[in-house]
Amino acid sequence: MRARLESCLQSIDRVLLGKELQVRLALTCLLARGHLLLEDLPGMGKTTLSHALARVLGLGFQRIQFTADLLPGDILGTSVFDKESAQFVFHPGPIFCELILADEINRATPKSQSALLEAMEEGQVTIEGATRPLPSPFFVIATQNPVTQGGTFALPESQLDRFLMRLSLGYPARAAEKALLLAGSGRQRLPELEPVLDHAALAAIQAEIPRVRVSDALVDYVLRLVEATRSQPQFAWGLSPRGSLALLAAARAWAYLAGRDYVIPEDVQAVLPAVAGHRLRERADPAGQGGGTLVQWLLREVAAV
């Protein structure tokens, strides 16, 4: 099973050059049943990554382009009157798909944003009084441009919290970009990707991850991290219990990906920037972009053993 996961990673790496760490983290996020927020400038490969993940994992893929005039109905679907049956027939929206790419989520109005975020949290949608379950597995990969750009609605903290991880792809390394320029865009090679996993295999893996062992000593380390965010003066606020649960879940998936059946402190450290970065703010800059330096501080100062 793990060999298939490794080949998944290799396949994606062939499309998205030089981003092994981010790819691995994105896969970790999906294996831990979390949703992923990709934050970066346009054209950095966010869409390519989502496409590649969907193809390799054998998931249905839908893309919703968020714009300022997008309405909740455009996401969830609407009932349309059918003349033949003389009844309202529900036309499901793009959300009824296994992997959703919510592109440029911060361009839409808060009303539309929250329609998606509610679906993410509940795993079901309620439309016109009827509750409809979403497919399983259900992943959302949302992308956003940094909010300092014009014409955007920043996601509030409570909604950021719904994402297990926030990743930023960043510029490719020189060698990777050269290969990209020589071999053509990764998007063109997407159709070459073969599905490696199917629904059943993915479900089996996801069921195995909670069984990855977390020892007392490791929980102590997680607690030390969380307590530091709550007690140290440079943190505007601490991590919530949902945050610490997310940290542990991601660390389990990471350990599973690494082929271990127990979590070590390095696993926690590997996922900490992605899991905690968007949940923390500096006291000196509570409206800022989040806790890159705070996470570095945690990694450096909190006793790992």
Partner 1 sequence: MTTAKSGAALQPIPRVGLTWLLVAQLLVVLPHLGHLPLWIVGLWLGCAAWHIQIFRMRAPYPNGWIKAGLMLGTGFGVYLSRGGLIGLEAGVVLLIAAFILKLVEMRSRRDALVVIFLGFFALATAGLFEDGILAALYYLLPLAALLAALIGLQQSALAADPWATLRLAGSLLLQAAPLMLLLFLFFPRIEPLWSLPGPRERGVTGLSDSMTPGDIAELGQSGALAFRASFEGPLPERSRLYWRALTLEHFDGRRWSQVPEAAQVEPPLWEKRGAPLAYSIVMQPSNRPWLYSLDVAEGGPDDARLLADFRLQQRRPVTRPQLYRLTSWPDAQREPEGSVPALQRALQLPERGNPQSRAWAAELRRRHPEPEALVQALLGHFGREAFHYTLKPPRLGRDSVDEFLFATRRGFCEHFSSAMTFVLRAAGIPARVVTGYQGGEFNPAGNYLLVHQFDAHAWVEYWQPPRGWTTVDPTFQVAPERIERGLQQALGEEQGFLEEAPLSLARYRSIDWLNRLRLSWDNLNYGWQRWVLGYQGEQQMQVLRSWFGKADLRLLGLTAVAAVAATLLLVALWLFKPWRREGDAQQRLFQRFEKLLARHGLYRAPGEGPRAFAERAAQRLPDHAGAIRTFVELFEAQRYGGQQGAPGELGRALRQLRRALPWRSGEE
Q: Is 269 in the site for partner 1 (CB under 8 A)?
A: yes
Q: Closer to partner 1 by CB, 63 or 260: give it.
A: 260
Q: Closer to partner 1 by CB, 200 or 305: give it.
A: 305
Q: Is 298 in the site for partner 1 (CB under 8 A)?
A: yes
Given candidates 217, 242, 285, 293, which one binds partner 1 under the rule CB under 8 A? Answer: 217
- Bridge partners (DSSP) of residue 140 are 100
Tokens of 107: 């361009």
Q: Tell me which residue has tokens 């705070």.
A: 294
Q: Is 233 in the site for partner 1 (CB under 8 A)?
A: yes
Q: Is 295 in the site for partner 1 (CB under 8 A)?
A: no
Q: Closer to partner 1 by CB, 120 or 263: give it.
A: 263
Tokens of 163: 């994402």
Region near partner 1 per CB under 8 A, out of 5-13, 121-129, 182-190, 262-270: 262-270
Q: Closer to partner 1 by CB, 117 or 275: give it.
A: 275
Q: Is 303 in the site for partner 1 (CB under 8 A)?
A: yes
Q: How far is the CB of 273 from partner 1 (least distance, A)?
A: 13
Size of the site for partner 1 (CB under 8 A): 21
Given candidates 121, 122, 198, 261, which one binds partner 1 under the rule CB under 8 A? Answer: 261
Q: Closer to partner 1 by CB, 83 or 211: give it.
A: 211
Residues that bind partner 1 (CB under 8 A): 213, 215, 217-218, 233, 260-266, 269, 298-305
